Every structure is written in structure tokens, then in C-alpha cells.
Amino acid sequence: MSDRKSDLPGGRFVRWLNQDQDVLERQMIAAQNREPDSDEEMEEAWRRERFLEDQKEEEVVASRLEALNERKVPVIGRVVYMLGCMLICIAMIMLLLYTVTTLPGFGGEIDPAQNEVPRRYIEQGLQETGALNIVTGMILDYRAFDTLGESTVLFAAAMVVLFLLRLDPESNRYSTLAASIREEPYADTFYEPKNDSILQHTAKILTPVAFLLGIYVVLNGHLTPGGGFSGGAIVGAGLVLHVTAFGFEDIRRFFTYRTYQRTVVTALLTYAFSKTYSFYTGANGIESIIPLGMPGAILSGGLILLLNICVGFIVTCTVYVLYAVFRKGDV
Amino acid sequence: MQIVRFVFGAVFLIIGLLSCIVGVIGVFKFKYAANRMHAAAINDTLGISLCMLGLSVLAPDIASALKMILVIIFFWISAPVASHLLCRLEVETNEEREQYMELHVIEGTEADADKNTAGAPEMEEKVEEAENETADGQKMTAEASDTQIASMDNMVKGETA
Amino acid sequence: MMADAYQVLCTGAMGILAVLMVVCLIRCAIGPRVSDRIMAVNMVSTLTIIMVGIMTVYLKEGYLADVALVYAVLSFLAVIVLCKVYTGIYRERRHAETVSALKEEQEGTACR
């Protein structure tokens, strides 16, 4: 039984609890037995040992998962589980359909949505925000604080994915593992066809087109439908296209983890500061020095253009980073 | 003038839709994936370009008409590449490909290496290399890649000499 | 008169396209190989682009043409990424099979 316990992932803790073996004992013995030739070599050995330990732990977890998947469940239990699932699904669908039937009709005159707020947006939105596209005027002027929250949520999501999946090459514990994940036979992209010259020549033509299209959508956010979120997604798609054609080594020339951090943080701070200014002037009744411009021109709508660009940067970086992390475990 | 424009656009659009229908029928008629790709390509090139030409004639303003022409150009560039990659996937992953097509393997290409490794000694070396790497960490990779580079250099020299 | 003609043309074309799309989805569902499925998805996105173009004419809104362009970029991207990923998965699986077969062989010779 004790063997079984020590095989578990928490085995070290259990051993320490039972005082079978000191956690650090093995490492200390290993360190004593070893002639300290040089610091580097020792460090390398430690790392390798840790790497092997990690691998063993992973194997144990994988075998347990396999056993869990292969365990025999009685037929009745399976049937009950299936029926329960179906029941819950049908109940959810019924509940949602019932809710839909009680909703007010679309565009009716006595809807709760038809109050003074949208009337004000429609009637005075153009004068107050200077944006032809009323939706952009709403999300980046009247409700800009909400959009800042959205961008921050996006940033936080990307950050959490990075925390969970990224192996920092500079950290002590994972350095070997991180290096090995990026090197040849362990890399996720190792088996993929690379250097397809047809695809590369096409990507050379099409990536700038995708970038241009995305930038156009971002810059025209206050005139036509679109804006920071959709335009950023298109530019991110262009980056993904480039990566697919040329590989991750090529894109590391201009886009690394550091670039991501700096770009996104700068964009978020710019957004926050510029909006702080407009909130301050708006709340205190001070005349803003930013002109609204002629509606319909590209330089109009006050701060909306700047905010759109910031959101575009954030979305671009996040789209690309999520793709890279899920494909490769690194940026 | 309006009627002429409408008729022009409508004719193009209807011919385009007909070729789309032909493509979709072909996807069901052919028996093998690489043949079906031929039918799908009709849809991707002829169908969309005729439809978009018709629609650009009918378009409300000149900018959207130009954008539709841009869609055609984009498809002319991208659809063949997508077909190429699909075909590559099909040829590579289909294990019964000999019964559908004749393969002429050119020496020294990737497909050649694949063919050799199907049951064979070179693969063994690669496998051993991979296993050594797991055991010995990173140093082996560097050495292996060095030897690979060296052999490639030799090949290049041999060709030029 | 003209508006009626436009409406008939656009609705008819969109109906045909909807039927074609459903047929393509059937191919995607039954397609025996992965490449069939990817191809069917590609065809669906092509038909969608035509549909967006028809919407541009029908609603007389120029900005919908942008959507068609964006859709073209994204459909191309989807096809190439899926192709690469599936080729990689197939090769990895085949490599693993070869390795295990070789290991078995080696064990067999060792026993003898």
C-alpha cells in the first residue's frame, strides 16, 4: 500500500508526512556523492534529474487517467447517466424556450428597451460623439469604461492561458523541459510539413493584404461597421497566416513575449489615460481640447480613433498569443 | 440602362450559381477524395468569380464593386494553394493510395524519404537518435543536427563537383 | 418594377445557396476522409461569401462587401491550418507506430 501511495503525484508529501524519507534527502545525497566539477555541470545534472522526475510523474498521472477511462461501469449506471444527461439537456432547452416566449416582440413600441437612453443616443449621438457609426459612438464614448473592462478581460484571459501553459525558459525548474519542448522531436510542430514554398510565396502576397484589411477596418471604426475588435482579429489572422507559412522561428524576429507584454500594457494604459481625461472634462464641465471634427472624415469623433487603435493592438496580440500558446506552449 | 445592368448582372449570377450546382453535384458523383477536389475547385474558381462579377455589376456603389473584384483576385491566389495543401494531405495520409493513382517518386524528395522509411533501416537510425535524445538531453540533438548539416554539405559539394 | 426584380433574383439565389450549403454539410458529415471534410467546409465558406455578396446587393449596404473579403481571408486560413495540423497528427501517429514496431522486433531478436 505504501508503494501505491508513493506513486501518487502527492507521494512526496505523503512520504514527508509519514517521515519515511526527507524530501530533500535524495538530492542532498546526490549532491554529496558528486564531485562538484563545476557549477554549470552540477546544475545541468540537477535539472536533468528534475526533468526525469517530472516525466515520471506525468507518466503516473497518464496511467491513472487511462485506468480511470477503462474502468468497468455497470450497464445500469451508464443508462442512468445517459438518461440524466438527456433530462438535464431537455430541461435546459425547455427553460430557454419558455423564456424566449415571454420576451417582448422585436422592435415593439412598448419594449422596456425603448426608453430615453437609445432615443438620446440616436438623436444626439452624432453631435456629442462625432462618430457616424452609432454603435462605435456608444461603445467607445458613452460606454467607454465598459470597453476598457472588456479589453482588460481579454488581456487577463490571455495572461491566465500564459500562466497555465507557458514554460518560462528562464525559470530554474523548467529550463530543460522548456528547451526540450521547443527543440526538434518534442516540439508540437515537429511533424508538420514545413517550408512549403508554394504556401510561402502565397503568404508573402496575402499577409500584407490581410494586415491592410485589418488596419482599414480599425481606422474606419467610427465611420463603418467594424472597429478595434474585428479589425484586430483580422490582423491577428494575418499573423497566424504568416506563422503557418514560415514557422515560429521566423516570427520570433519581431514578435516575442516581451513585445506582447509591452504592446498590450502600453495600449491599455493609453486607453485608460485618454479616457480619464475625457471623463474628467466631462464630469467637471470643462471644454475638451480634443475637437470632434467633421463627421464622416477619417480624423473625427474625438478620441474614438485612438481608442479603436488601442483596442485593435490588444486584440491582435491576444489572438496571436492564444494561437501560439495552444499550438506550441510558448510565444 | 437600369434594365441592361440588371440583365447583365443577373445572367452572370445565374451562370455562376449553375456552376456552383455543378460543383456540388460533382462532390457527390466522384468516388475518391482527390477527384472530388476537382469538383470543389470549380466552385472555388469559376463559381465564385462569375457570381462576384455579376454582383459587382449589380452593386450599390463603386467601392463595394471594387471590393468584390478584390474577392475574386484573392480567391484566384488562395484557392489553388488551399487545393495544393489539401491534395498533399490526401496523398500523404491515404494508405491505400496505390489503388487510386500511380505515384512517381522523384529521388531525394520528402516523398522518397517516406517511401524508404516505410519498412526500413534509415528509419531505425532516426528512431535510435530520438531515443538517445530522450536519454541524453540536448547535446545529442546538437550533434545530430551537426552531422545532418555536414552530410547536406557533402551532398551539395558532390552535386557541384 | 426594378425593385421587385432585384428581390426575386436575390431571394431565389439565396434559396439555392442555402440548399447547396446543406448538401455540402451532408458531404462534410459523411465524408470518409479528413480531406473530404475540410473540402466541404471550404465549399461552405465559398458559398457563404457569395451569399454575403448577394446581401450587399439586396440591402444596398456597401460595407457588407468588407465582410465578404474578411470571410475570404479567414476561410483560406482555416483550410491551411487544418491541413497542417492533420498532416502533423498523422505523421506523429505513424512515427509512434513505427517506433513501437521496431521495439517489438528488437525485443524478439533479443529473446532468441
Q: How far apart are CA A250 and CA A236, in angstroms?
A: 16
> Mind telling me how many Å the CA of A234 is from chain C's nearest CA?
7
A9 vs A238 pLDDT, higher one:
A238
Q: C31 versus C64: which is more confidently predicted?
A: C64
C68–B27 C-beta distance less than 8 A:
no
Does residue A202 or residue B159 have the better pLDDT?
A: A202
User: Rounded to 5 degrees, what angle do the CA atoms A233, A238, A240 make?
Assistant: 90
**Count of domains for chain C:** 1
Q: What is the pLDDT of residue A69?
A: 77
Q: What is the C-alpha to C-alpha distance for residues B136 and B131, in angstroms, rounded to an integer? A: 9
Predicted local distance difference test score (pLDDT) of residue A250: 83
Under a CB-based contact definition with an 8 Å cutoff, are residues B17 and C16 in contact?
yes
Cβ <8 Å between C77 and A240: yes
3-class SS shares of chain C: helix, strand, coil, % to 5? 90, 0, 10
Condensed to tens digits (0 to 9), the pLDDT of residues A286-317 reads: 877 777 777 777 787 778 888 889 999 999 99
Q: For B104, left (φ over 0), alpha (ψ -120 to 50), or beta? A: beta
| Mean per-residue pLDDT of chain A | 80
The rounded percent of chain B whose pLDDT value lies above 70 is: 66
Mean pLDDT, range B115-141, rounded to an integer = 44
**pLDDT of the residue at C34:** 87
Q: How many helices (H) and strands (E) does chain B have?
A: 7, 0
Q: Which of A145-149, A177-181, B56-60 has the lowest mean pLDDT?
A: A177-181
Least trusted range by pLDDT, from A24-33, A276-285, A286-295, C6-15: A24-33
Q: Which three cell numbers stand for residue B57?
A: 455589376
Distance CA A240, CA B24 (A): 30
Contact B78 A180 (CB under 8 A): no
pLDDT at C90 over 80: yes
The pLDDT, as a whole number, for residue A6 is 46
How far from A7 is each of A63, A71, A330, CA to CA, in Å? 11, 19, 30
Least confident of A2-11, B47-56, C72-81: A2-11
Q: Smallest Cβ distance to A244: which of C66, C80, C95?
A: C80
Do the beta carbons of residue B68 and residue C53 sit within 8 Å? yes
- Least-confidence region, from A60-64, B33-37, B151-155, C34-38: B151-155
- Using a pLDDT cut of 90, give the percent of chain A over it: 18
Write down the pLDDT at residue B135.
Answer: 43
Domain span at residue C31 reads 2-111
Looking at the complex, report in whole angstroms how far the Cα of residue A268 sits from the nearest Cα belonging to chain C.
26
The rounded percent of chain A whose pLDDT value lies above 70 is: 80
Position A73 pLDDT exceeds 60: yes
Sign of the CA dihedral with A268 first, then A271, A273, and A276 last: negative
Residue with the bigger pLDDT between C16 and A69: it is C16
ipTM: 0.85
Q: Virtual CA dihedral for A187, A190, A194, A199, nearest 10 degrees? A: -70
Return the number of other C-beta atoms located less than 10 Å from residue A330's C-beta. Answer: 21
Q: Which segment, A148-152, A183-187, A207-211, A274-278, is predicted with the most confidence on average? A: A207-211
pLDDT tier, B17 (very low <50, low <70, confident <90, very high otherwise): very high
Of all residues in chain C, the one with the smallest CA distance to A236 is: C74
* Residues in chain A within 8 Å Cβ distance of B77: 202, 205-206
Q: Where are the domains positioned within chain B?
A: 2-99, 110-160
Tell which wins on pLDDT, A124 or B46.
Answer: B46
The pLDDT mean for chain C works out to: 88
**A180 vs B: CB within 8 A:** yes
Comparing A38 with B155, which gets the higher pLDDT? A38
User: In this predicted structure, what is the pLDDT of residue A34?
Assistant: 57
Q: What's the average model confidence in pLDDT over A50-59?
A: 83
Q: Which candidate in B69, B109, B138 is best for mutational testing of the A interface (most A CBs within 10 A)? A: B138
CB A329 within 8 A of CB A188: yes
pLDDT attached to residue A169: 64
Cα(B113)–Cα(B117) distance, integer angstroms: 6
pLDDT at B85 over 60: yes
pLDDT (0 to 100) of residue B127: 44
Interval A251-264 mean pLDDT: 87
pLDDT over 80 at B122, yes or no: no
In the prediction, which pLDDT does C49 show? 93
The answer to whether A185 faces chain B, any CB pair under 8 Å, is yes
Please classify residue C105 by burial: count the beta carbons closer than 10 Å to its beta carbon, then call 0-12 exposed, 13-18 middle and 19+ buried: exposed
Classify the C-alpha dihedral B82-B88-B91-B95 as positive or negative: negative
Which residues touch A262 (CB under 8 Å, ≥6 apart)?
none
